[in-house]
Amino acid sequence: MNNPPVSISLSSFGAELVRQRGQGSFIEILAAAGATHIEWREELLTVEDPAQLADATQTHGLESVYSTPMELWLAGQSRPNPELITALQRAQAFGAKWLKVSLGYFTDTCDLQTLARILGKSPVHLLVENDQTLHGGRIEPFQRFFADVEQHNLPIKMTFDIGNWHWQDQSPASAARLLGRHVGYVHCKAVTRRVDGKLIAIPPAASDLQRWEHLLRHMAQGVMRAAEYPLQGDDLVQLTTEHVAALAHLGHSQLESAHA
């Protein structure tokens, strides 16, 4: 039985370290740790050369996702964010098969036909994520967006960020039940509240992994999943290996029962 694909969001290694070392320096770590995918973070880029990174990931047998903080829909605009075309081109330059963006301000007037035309000109697939904002971090706008996506038969999947739902007091379990069939990528992170009241991402405890297991039952078997929580320690290969294995194991009971 093959393990499902596991990605590591490079933000997990800490913004300072990633900017200091360059994103390409983590390719060997991820390959050694058994990850199948690497998630480039646009906001952490410094002087990286896209073509070099694309070659290096391919050499090490990794596929890639390109993440940008861009919102797909801007407030008061019916057409997709004009930056989308450039973002798709950048993702392609990095050798990424997927571009991850935030939903933004989706309304009933948003023009999905124009979005379809833009996506039709790119080999890169679009992943739309729930972020931590009031307009892009609630279940209901995603239900409406994906109803329209289905109607227009667009090749768009959801990045389901488990932790981000907490920023808007949304239930991850309800979100998984209502949106699970649209999910193509799962961002895994546990969340805790600091003494000052601020929510932060933390590595999962056994109870978190158990909850995630239940969430994944609403999604396609073997859906791609990613660590997006702090991976910080002296031996990054060993630490990452442990977390890749834990994430790869999620949904195994589901797969085993399917093959029984």
Task: Give the whole-angstrom CA distance, residue 83 versus residue 227.
Answer: 27
Task: Give the whole-angstrom CA distance, residue 100 versus residue 197.
Answer: 29
**The two three-digit tokens of residue 245, written as one number:** 């294995």
The answer to whether residue 90 is domain-embedded is yes
Can you give the CATH number for the domain in which 47 is found? 3.20.20.150
Strand-pair partners of 13: none
Check residue 254 and give its pLDDT.
54
The answer to whether residue 13 is domain-embedded is yes
The answer to whether residue 242 is domain-embedded is yes
The answer to whether residue 125 is domain-embedded is yes
Query: How many structural domains compose the chain?
Result: 1
Task: Assess contact for 246 and 209: CB atoms under 8 A.
Answer: yes
Task: Assess contact for 111 and 84: CB atoms under 8 A.
Answer: no
Task: Give the whole-angstrom CA distance, residue 184 versus residue 5.
Answer: 11
Check residue 235 and give its pLDDT.
97
Predicted TM-score (pTM) of the model is 0.96
Check residue 188 and give its pLDDT.
98
Check residue 253 and give its pLDDT.
61
3-state secondary structure of 183: strand
What's the chain's average pLDDT?
A: 96
pLDDT per residue as tens, the chain (260 positions): 578 999 999 999 999 999 999 999 999 999 999 999 999 999 999 999 999 999 999 999 999 999 999 999 999 999 999 999 999 999 999 999 999 999 999 999 999 999 999 999 999 999 999 999 999 999 999 999 999 999 999 999 999 999 999 999 999 999 999 999 999 999 999 999 999 999 999 999 999 999 999 999 999 999 999 999 999 999 999 999 999 999 999 987 654 544 44
The answer to whether residue 1 is domain-embedded is no
Task: Assess contact for 110 and 71: CB atoms under 8 A.
Answer: no
Q: Domain of residue 40: give its range.
A: 6-259
Check residue 260 and give its pLDDT.
45
The answer to whether residue 16 is domain-embedded is yes
Check residue 259 and give its pLDDT.
47
The answer to whether residue 215 is domain-embedded is yes
Strand-pair partners of 40: 66
DSSP 60-76: TT-EEEEEEEEEEE-TT
The answer to whether residue 60 is domain-embedded is yes
Q: Which of 187, 240, 175 is nearest to 67 (CA)?
A: 187
